[in-house]
Structure 1
Amino acid sequence: MTLLHPWALLLLPLALTPFWLKSRQGQMYSWLEMVPHDRVSETADTTVRALVALLLAAIVLALAGPQGPDIKVQKVGKGAQTVVVIDRSVSMEHPFAGDSTSGRTAEVKATAARRLITDFINARPDDMIGVVAFTNAALHGVKITSNRKAVFAAINAATSAGINQTNIGAGITEGVSLFDDIPSSGSRAIILLSDGAGKISPRVKQKIHEQLTSKKLNLYWIVLREPDDISIFGQNPAYTPESMPAVLELDQYLKSLKIKYRAYEADNPTALQSALRDIDAREKNVIQYAVSMPGHDYARDLILLALGLCVLLFIVKNLRVNSWKTA
């Protein structure tokens, strides 16, 4: 058992207050020897004092917030252990390509990513989600968890404005590292969301290769394109290794790995939504995972006990034997 507010135990001596105070109720007599010894009244008085002391102790212990140990509950569902790796570079604040004839600007890429990833997660209640963001370095968002509030807070942070750098290698390696401390439950995937790619050193490429293959992770890369960007699916001219654009180089490198890899391109929110729907259909396998449930809240029981004692003392307070009135 743990106490959320152990400082409240300093108030526990207040429970002895009823035994320190003297009662002033009763009848006035000029000579006490004429009053017979009343054991029933003494016992009732001691009992009432004990009830008041118990009431005060229950209130103090409830303030201390006693909690039972957490409980691990095994759950079975359909989904995956998924890490979302999100680009936070300044270019993510640019809008998608709008309709040039309408004169209206399309939705900002980061805003669309936040909205659609949130919808994607809400549609997969059995998933365990982790979040990583990256600009010039990887930014840990939240570990792989089933806590949706923590996940959505991390996504909001990951889709906020960053700086004008795209260290995609650091983002991938940090995303893979989230799987280190959690046992595999079946399907495991990384969703990489970026609007470009930076050059990755041979050392980082080797590290990515070792991590992805050893952990048997599936990798999905959604490239958010702007009108003049190079398409990884287009008819591109032959490039030398030195002149090859980073996006094409990364795509070819990931295709060379012995993992399940699939790339998508999205130049508008509808295409991004379509890519996420395809990933949703591919990553729905039976998974089993443990969820930590908070332990029993004993403070609630103590409050109910205090309430019951208050009712009992109220009844006792109104049970009074009145003295006989002379005719």
Structure 2
Amino acid sequence: MIHFEWPWLLAALPLPLLIRWLLPAALPAEQAALKVPFLDDLAEAGMNPRRKSRSGRPFIFAAIAWLLLVVACTRPQWLGEPIEQAVSGRDLMLAVDLSGSMEEQDFILNKERVDRLTAAKAVAGDFIERRAGDRLGLILFGTQAYLQTPLTFDRKTVKTLLDESAIGLAGDNTAIGDAIGLAVKRLKNQPGNSRVLILMTDGANTAGEVSPLKAAELAAANRLKIYTIGIGADEMLVRSFFGTRKVNPSRDLDEKTLIAIAKNTGGRYFRARNAEELSYIYLLLDKLEPIAKDKQYFRPRTELFYWPLSLSLALAALLCYFRLRWA
């Protein structure tokens, strides 16, 4: 169906007639010194009949051009069939650790050794693309926590900003408590049963104003469910001058605190020692139950204003042509 976005502009249709009626007629640029009463009769009598027959055309063209211009101003649109939008009702915030320890290369991705952040970007990026219907947000934290993306349905933007993040961008330390506190602040005004935070880190809280457990209490009070992910391998072979030895690259990971955070908020703790486990964790998180909301519909719109506008301009050009020809 055709829809007019600004139909009230149709009230401008009689504007030229009102102007002609209200404003005084313009005087000729050059007036004769002596008024001859029958001068107009003489001019009319001597007028070319062909030209006289055409004298009404400019008015008709001008009226049609004005009508089309007003119609174009009302912004006509073609509305398509209603399309149901998939809206699950979940408000999901991702908090990603960018501290210096995330540069540890203990993950294998596509048969290549990569650092933890690169693996997290690849897996979390796929997770973001699958979250159709959720509003997603992104928090990046290191020494401080920053809101990189507020809640949005634009999954592409969230993924792009995650891909553009870099180790050390927020500092080299780890402020887990501040990241949770920032998520509580951004989600507290959302529906209580749809608030979810997925927090991924490879270390322990070493910075920030709020302790992780205190922040978890605040999250529980605001009904924010937190899923925590501890990332990093349990062992890694390191070559040195004295030979090859095994080390634990995740020795600084505070699993006890991450487990407590998840437990206190009704979430769950996951351990990702490699890229496969990390992918499996995000597949499990994909099964979060949606919160039912009223259905939302979208009607695609196609702008049509350029058709009457083009015709109006064409008629205006035709008027100019006739005026020059009949002058």
Q: By the TM > 0.5 criterion, same fold?
A: yes
Q: Of 139, 144, 154, which aligns to 1:147?
A: 154
Output one character per residue of 1:145-183: Cα deviation in whole Å (capped at 9) or x when no partner. 212233223322345652322111111111222213433
The answer (yes or no) to whether the contact 2:197–2:227 under 8 Å persists in 1 is yes
Partner of 1:304: 307
Judging changes above 3 Å, is the alpha-carbon distance between structure 1 residues 290 and 177 closer, same or farther for their aligned structure 2 residues?
A: farther
Q: Of 285, 292, 313, which aligns to 1:287?
A: 292
Partner of 2:13: none
Q: Of 44, 57, 64, which aligns to 1:44?
A: 57
Partner of 1:112: 119
Partner of 1:26: none
Judging changes above 3 Å, is the alpha-carbon distance between structure 1 residues 198 and 183 closer, same or farther for their aligned structure 2 residues?
A: same
The answer (yes or no) to whether the contact 1:85–1:171 under 8 Å persists in 2 is yes
Partner of 2:96: 86
Judging changes above 3 Å, is the alpha-carbon distance between structure 1 residues 252 and 106 closer, same or farther for their aligned structure 2 residues?
A: same
Output one character per residue of 1:247-296: Cα deviation in whole Å (capped at 9) or x when no partner. 14523542662x21311121221111011111112x13343278797996
Supply the AA of the counterpart residue of 2:290: N
User: What's the CA shift for 1:75?
Assistant: 5.4
* C-alpha distance in structure 2 between counterparts of 1:310 and 1:252, whole Å: 70
Equivalent position SS for 2:55: helix
Output one character per residue of 1:29-59: Cα deviation in whole Å (capped at 9) or x when no partner. xx76412687763332122234455667788
The answer (yes or no) to whether the contact 1:135–1:165 under 8 Å persists in 2 is yes
* C-alpha distance in structure 2 between counterparts of 1:255 and 1:54, whole Å: 66
Alignment of 1:1-327 (within 5 A): 33-35=45-47, 41-52=54-65, 77-78=87-88, 80-97=90-107, 105-158=112-165, 161-162=168-169, 163-184=171-192, 186-199=193-206, 204-205=211-212, 207-226=214-233, 227=235, 228-230=248-250, 247-251=254-258, 253-254=260-261, 257=264, 259-281=265-287, 283-288=288-293, 300-309=303-312
Output one character per residue of 1:214-242: Cα deviation in whole Å (capped at 9) or x when no partner. 222221111111431457xxxxxxxxxxx
Supply the AA of the counterpart residue of 1:278: L
Supply the AA of the counterpart residue of 1:188: R
* C-alpha distance in structure 2 between counterparts of 1:116 and 1:126, whole Å: 19
Q: What residue ranges of structure 1 are gaps of 5+ in the alignment?
A: 4-30, 68-72, 232-244, 320-327
Judging changes above 3 Å, is the alpha-carbon distance between structure 1 residues 143 and 97 closer, same or farther for their aligned structure 2 residues?
A: closer
Equivalent position SS for 1:106: strand
Equivalent position SS for 1:136: coil
Supply the AA of the counterpart residue of 1:305: P
Q: What residue ranges of structure 2 are gaps of 5+ in the alignment?
A: 7-42, 78-82, 236-247, 323-327
Supply the AA of the counterpart residue of 1:189: V
Supply the AA of the counterpart residue of 1:284: E
The structure with the largest alpha-carbon Rg is 2
Supply the AA of the counterpart residue of 1:307: S
Output one character per residue of 1:279-314: Cα deviation in whole Å (capped at 9) or x when no partner. 112x133432787979967xx332122234467779
The answer (yes or no) to whether the contact 1:193–1:223 under 8 Å persists in 2 is yes
Tell me the TM-score normalised to structure 1 length: 0.64
Identity %: 19
Judging changes above 3 Å, is the alpha-carbon distance between structure 1 residues 84 and 125 closer, same or farther for their aligned structure 2 residues?
A: same
More deviation, 50-59/204-213: 50-59
* C-alpha distance in structure 1 between counterparts of 2:205 and 2:88, whole Å: 35
* C-alpha distance in structure 1 between counterparts of 2:186 and 2:297, whole Å: 18
Judging changes above 3 Å, is the alpha-carbon distance between structure 1 residues 170 and 66 closer, same or farther for their aligned structure 2 residues?
A: farther
Alignment coverage as a number of residue pairs: 265
Judging changes above 3 Å, is the alpha-carbon distance between structure 1 residues 90 and 209 closer, same or farther for their aligned structure 2 residues?
A: closer
Tell me the TM-score normalised to structure 2 length: 0.64
The answer (yes or no) to whether the contact 1:166–1:196 under 8 Å persists in 2 is yes
Equivalent position SS for 1:261: coil
Judging changes above 3 Å, is the alpha-carbon distance between structure 1 residues 55 and 159 closer, same or farther for their aligned structure 2 residues?
A: farther
User: What's the CA shift for 1:211?
Assistant: 2.7
Judging changes above 3 Å, is the alpha-carbon distance between structure 1 residues 280 and 174 closer, same or farther for their aligned structure 2 residues?
A: same
User: What's the CA shift for 1:200?
Assistant: 6.6
Supply the AA of the counterpart residue of 1:83: M
